[in-house]
Amino acid sequence: MILIISNSVDLVEPVTNTIREISSEEVVIFRSDKCLAGEGLSFVCTDEISEVFLDVEQLSFDLSAINKAWFYKPMLPKALREYEPHQDAIFIYRQFLATWRSLTSFLRQDIWLNDYYRSLEAENKPYQLKIARNVGFKIPDTLITTNPDRATKFWQRCEKQMVIKALAFSPFPKKVVFTNQMTDQLMAEISRIKSSPVILQKLIPGKQEYRITVVGNEVYTAAIQSNSPVDWRRGLVSATPAELPLDLQNRCVEIVKTLGLRFGCIDMIQDENGDYYFLEINPNGQWRFVEEQAGLPIGESIARLLVSM
């Protein structure tokens, strides 16, 4: 039995449809945002037994039968995400998050795409930059700090060509923290970083940005066209199929495996001299827009990987 833990917004049909075409294994989809409709997890722990059950669409499943599982963006329904007062919404989220985490620990680790705790580790930006350098990628000069003096010296080292990025994603669904280019005006307020760590990186003058999706040993590359010079998410125009040099493709597979993952979405940029720079990897990144716009069979590849695990 294959378990997919997801939500009602991020459609997983390209994966489930392929699984049903190529395999007779039963597929169970747990959409975590249907909790108010009665769907959810239950754990039973007594002196005699330790069991976990999943209630989905008025059916109950004993998850001891699960031999493959995909942990892909569980979230709460809007009513709970926007619950007031806000501190209660945070408390509710943490209770559900503890339940989802418990499931990833309860079931053996080798069944997961990806293992939750390896994904959590891989989201660590300093760690992934270190691993990227170790496997042979070029990386931008980077400073992660709350120290205004260090930031000012780095700004000067970068000759005032620098971007500022968030160290982690925003906990608020409607608020995306974009990468921004630093200016003299922003540097005049650099003391504000004392209240929140930031990533500062030397600006790489971009010739072309790429989104690389790694599924097992498969590498799917899309060239990104955007109206934004520093963050393609702010002005995405299109994603078209592209091909990286073979050595870079091999490094993409290597970094995913080194991080203990089976899947990952990598952002890279090619500068004006033709050099490629690793920017970051998202162990649970968005891939549907690449599949739809670039025509790359990522969902089918995820399905085949799940079946083969």
Given this model, what pLDDT does residue 260 score? Answer: 96
Segment 146-160, tens digit of pLDDT: 999 999 999 999 999
Q: What is the mean pLDDT of residues 260-282?
A: 96
Segment 284-303, tens digit of pLDDT: 999 999 999 999 999 999 99
Confidence of residue 283 (pLDDT cuts 50, 70, 90): very high
> How wide is the angle at C-alpha 282 spanned by C-alphas 277 and 54, nearest 5°?
165
Task: Give the H or E element holding residue 44.
Answer: strand 40-45
Determine the Cα–Cα distance for residues 96 and 199; give it in Å rounded to an integer. 30
Task: Tell me the domains of the chain and their CATH numbers.
Answer: 2-113 (no CATH), 120-138+205-296 (3.30.470.20), 142-202 (3.30.1490.20)
Average pLDDT score, the chain: 92
Segment 95-128, tens digit of pLDDT: 999 999 888 888 877 899 999 999 999 999 999 9
Determine the Cα–Cα distance for residues 126 and 237; give it in Å rounded to an integer. 30
- Kindly report which listed range (12-16, 19-23, 249-253, 255-259) carries the lowest average pLDDT score: 12-16
Q: Please list the residues that pair with 240 across neighbouring strands.
A: 223
Tokens matching residue 59: 């059916």
- pLDDT surpassing 80 at residue 169: no
Segment 171-181, tens digit of pLDDT: 665 677 788 99
